[in-house]
Amino acid sequence: MRVLEVGSGAGDVALTLAELVGPEGWVVGVDLNPAILETARQRATDAGIQNVEFVAGDARTLAFTDKFDAIVGRFVLMYMVDPGKAFAQLITHLKPGGIAAFQEPEYTLYPAFLHPDTPLMNQLIKWILDVFEHSGAHLDTGIGLYRAFVDADISGGSNPTPPLARFLTSPLHNVQQWSHQSEERHENLNPYELLLIITPDHDEKEAEALTNQVKGIIEGGGTLLKVDPWGKKRLAYPIRKRSEGYYVLYIFECASSFVAELNQSLQVIEAILRYMLVQYEDDIDKLKAELTAEGTEVEESTSDEDSTPDEELTSDEEPASDDNAEAEDTTDNDAEAEDTAASA
């Protein structure tokens, strides 16, 4: 088995791969920095590993005599100017039916750990994020990883999920869930709307990052139509000792089987005080036509402080049918949901 490892650095991943493929296999590790590859070569020599070689250059444009059975990368796409485009270039080195395995971090989750009672930790998190932002790295590559696989269009447009992508990893989803994306995308798409209340402990920039984080989760399994931030509003009653919260409305389409996964992802984000997920009951085709007329697929609009939520988000709204039982209203009860939404 021939394996191409991108961004080898000191050789940690390449040496592990060499052990996995065994003496009958071969690993080629590529990195832009020839100096660090000397370290990798020395480590391979010291470990007695002979089925690995290291090549200096850009893996996107290097010419290889043969294609590879697998291509692997860890924390590498995040440093590309365009991660999706880079992935599409890299997989040109892959044999039909090969394996593409990438692991990328999701640093937009970090603001969720900020808390007034942990100022030292808050400062540490901000320093970490500042370093990566200064480096030019994409902090949201983890959530966008699946989208990069889809946009690469390996199948030439005949299948929305690339058949070569046997698995990939992301902090929010496990391998088994991602491997079923192809089947899920063949299901009928249903329209949904999601109302979030984000904790007011963060500033506007952090709230925007969390808004984009949820946007990425939705886009990982559905088609996002509209994002509508309502801004900070006073709650009808305290939730987790907070009297205010940032409201954000999302309208999207997805297969019903994705809804349970979406709920699971939202429930682990500490910064979300409350959320309500129901089926969209208005004319979705009319909404699409309006967005198309405005010349955009995703409209982001900011309402003023006096904006009020649409009637379909109150507890009088009929929730998702039994056929789509995964769509849950996660408020403590329907009355709380109605009071919270009405307070906007």
Tens of each residue's pLDDT in the chain, 344 residues: 999 999 999 999 999 999 999 999 999 999 999 999 999 999 999 999 999 999 999 999 999 999 999 999 999 998 888 888 888 899 899 988 888 888 888 888 777 778 888 889 889 988 988 888 888 888 888 887 777 777 776 544 444 444 333 334 444 333 334 334 434 444 578 899 999 999 888 788 888 888 888 998 898 888 899 999 998 888 877 888 888 999 999 999 988 888 888 888 888 888 898 899 998 988 888 888 888 877 654 444 444 444 444 433 333 334 444 443 333 444 443 444 444 444 43
Nearest Cα to Cα of residue 262 among 225, 297, 214: 214
CA 310 to chain centre: 28
Nearest Cα to Cα of residue 151 among 214, 97, 87: 87
State the SS3 of the chain.
CEEEEECCCCCHHHHHHHHHHCCCCEEEEEECCHHHHHHHHHHHHHHCCCCEEEEECCCCCCCCCCCEEEEEEECCHHHCCCHHHHHHHHHHHEEEEEEEEEECCCHHHHHHHCCCCCHHHHHHHHHHHHHHHHHCCCCCHHHHHHHHHHHCCCCCCCCCCCCCCCCCEECCECHHHHHCHHHHCCCCEEEEEEEEEECCCCCHHHHHHHHHHHHHHHHCCEEEEEEEEEEEEEEEEEECCEEEEEEEEEEEEEEHHHHHHHHHHHHCCCCEEEEEEEECCCCHHHHHHHHHHCCCCCEECCCCCCCCCCHHHCCCCCCCCHHHCCCCECCCCHHHHHHHHHCC
What domains can you pick out in the chain, each with its CATH number? 2-150 (3.40.50.150), 187-342 (3.30.70.60)
The predicted pLDDT at position 324 comes to: 39
Residue carrying the six token digits 């690993």: 27
The predicted pLDDT at position 22 comes to: 92
The predicted pLDDT at position 71 comes to: 94
Sign of the four-CA dihedral 260, 263, 267, 268: positive
Query: What residues have CB less than 8 Å from 129, skipping those under 6 apart?
Result: 107, 110, 111, 139
Residue carrying the six token digits 């370093």: 131
Neighbours of 31 (CB within 10 A): 24
Paired tokens of 99: 């394996």
Indicate the pTM of the whole model: 0.48
